[in-house]
Amino acid sequence: MFALVVLLLTRTAHADNVATLIGQLEDSSDKVRLSAALNLTKLGDPKAILGLIKRLDSNNESSKNVRSAAAVGLGTLGNKVKGSQRDLAIKALRNAQANDPSEFVKVQAERALEKIGAGGGSTPTGTGGSIYVNVGPMSSKTGGPNDSKFRAMMVKVSTSTLSSRAPTMQQTWAGGAPTKAQLASKGFQGFYVDGTLNEVKVEKSGNTATISCKVSMLLASFPDKSVFGFLNGGAKVQGSASQRDIDLGSEDCVSAVIEDLIAKKIVPTIKSKVGQ
């Protein structure tokens, strides 16, 4: 019921990419800064924390979209560090929650604090239009040694994409996954998202390798898991033919398809279902 999504990507080295993106947080273009913040969140490297803290401060950053993305990023990275860096992230988020001129940014800062475990409470208090999304364990049919790594990555990309593209959708619930009665009592509608990696192919030509992948995802109600949407996507990644780059390129390929399907298909469908 959904069209096939086809992407073409070229992967770059992780360390170099992180350094480049951190530098782009200072770019004069708010679009470049926004893209950098979103991609740093996706990469999940704690080295980005100080740069994101600066971008969250409304005295340094004029764009509420960039500040919002920085808040989401700090919520994702805040659990990866301890000590002074974590304290700085929490301080910046609390300041944004209390003082940012944008209500949207305040909401993202509050959610980030909850994700880090520094919020005022983890029990959601929704209204009739509130949304809870449960992300499944994902599966892989490639039969290769990297299947478990693929599954973990698919879950991570799904949750991070939902956080960045639909930050008002709740993914956590105090005490574990909620029952139907618990959702109803808080005014939430529940949805379930899961996916399957169906294929990863590698074609080599000299020193170059082209990696193609195919992913299917489903969208269902939660907790009964009554499926109402199937999605299929594919992508191609080009890079060197070294095994390391093939492994990283395969991850990039799958990650790109998951992110694209959730951002362009799953999130809009959920919003349509609840009348947003």
Residues 165 and 262 in one domain: yes
| pLDDT tens-place string over residues 72-88 | 999 988 888 777 888 88
Q: List the Cα angle 34/40/44 in 5-degree steps.
A: 150
Helix, strand, coil proportions of the chain in percent (round to 5)?
50, 20, 25
Closest Cα to residue 43, out of 200, 216, 251?
251
Question: pLDDT per residue over 247-273, tens digit each?
Answer: 888 999 999 999 999 999 999 999 988
User: pLDDT at residue 130 above 60?
Assistant: yes
Q: Are residues 130 and 73 in the same domain?
A: no
For residues 91 and 116, is the Cβ–Cβ distance under 8 A? no
- Among residues 80, 98, 7, 1, the alpha carbon closest in space to that of 43 is found at 80
What is the average pLDDT value for the chain, to the nearest integer?
86
User: DSSP letter string over 205-224?
Assistant: ETTEEEEEEEEEEEEEETTT
| 136 and 232 fall within a common domain | yes
Domain final residue pick, 79, 104, 121: 121
pTM over 0.75: no
Environment class of 8 (CB within 10 Å of its CB; exposed 0-12, middle 13-18, buried 19+): exposed
Domain with 74, as residue range(s), is 14-121
- Residue 16 banded pLDDT, cuts 50, 70, 90: low
Task: With respect to residue 3, please indicate whether it lies within any of the assigned structural domains.
Answer: no
The total of structural domains in the chain comes to: 2
Is 4 within a domain?
A: no
